[in-house]
Chains A and B, each alone.
Chain A
Amino acid sequence: NAGVTQTPKFQVLKTGQSMTLQCAQDMNHEYMSWYRQDPGMGLRLIHYSVGAGITDQGEVPNGYNVSRSTTEDFPLRLLSAAPSQTSVYFCASSHAGNGELFFGEGSRLTVL
C-alpha cells in the first residue's frame, strides 16, 4: 500500500530553472494539496485540488503551478526557480472535507 508518493526526494536547481515535483496517491482521495515547510514557519499551503480538473490557490501560490488531470496525480511546477523557493515540499491527500491528511515523505529542494 503505497499511500502518497513524491518524487524526487532531493533536487538542486539553479535560479531560473524550471522543474516539476511529482505526487501520486493510490487511495482514491478526492482532495490533494501541496505544502511547503520552512524552519520556524510550519506548513504553508501552496495549491490544492478537490478533484480532477479543479485546482485552487492556497496561502503562498506565487511561482507555482498545478494541474489535476487524474484523481491520482497532482504535480507541482516551479516555473522559474528562485532561492526563496528553497524548502521542503509535502504533498498530501484526503477524502473531501476530511481533516485527516495523508502526507508524502517530502521533497527537499535547494535553489542556488
Chain B
Amino acid sequence: GESVGLHLPTLSVQEGDNSIINCAYSNSASDYFIWYKQESGKGPQFIIDIRSNMDKRQGQRVTVLLNKTVKHLSLQIAATQPGDSAVYFCADLDYGGSQGNLIFGKGTKLSVKP
C-alpha cells in the first residue's frame, strides 16, 4: 500500500497562534484524505476530510489544504487552544483490499504553550 508520512514528529505552538501540520503521501492515485486527532489515552477522532477534486476544505477553526502536484496536504488550526494538544494523524484510503481501508501516517504531536 501507499505510505503516508508526517514531516515533523512534534510541533510546539503558543496559545492563540495558528498551527500547521503537514503530511506527504506517495500514491498519486489516492483520492480521499482524512485528518484524525488523538488525545492522550483515547482513540483517534475524525476531524475533517477532503477529496482529490478539492484543494481546500474548511471546518470549525480547521482548514485542510491539498496539493496534488507535490502530493502534500496540511491541516491548519486557527487560534490554537490548549485543548488542541494531541497527536494528529493524516490518513488516506487504500482501495487495495475488498473495500477502502485507511492507511495512517505516524502522527505529529502538537503541544500548545499557555
Contacts and interface: CB of A to CB of B under 8 A. Distances in A.
A45 interface: yes
A50 B43 contact: no
A109 to B, nearest CB: 15
Contacts of B89: 42-43
10 contacts: A4-B43, A42-B89, A48-B101, A58-B97, A58-B101, A90-B44, A99-B32, A99-B100, A103-B44, A105-B42
Interface of A: 4, 31, 33, 35, 40-45, 48, 50, 54, 56, 58-59, 90, 92, 96-97, 99-106
B27 to A, nearest CB: 15
Contacts, number: 60
Interface residues of B, number: 25
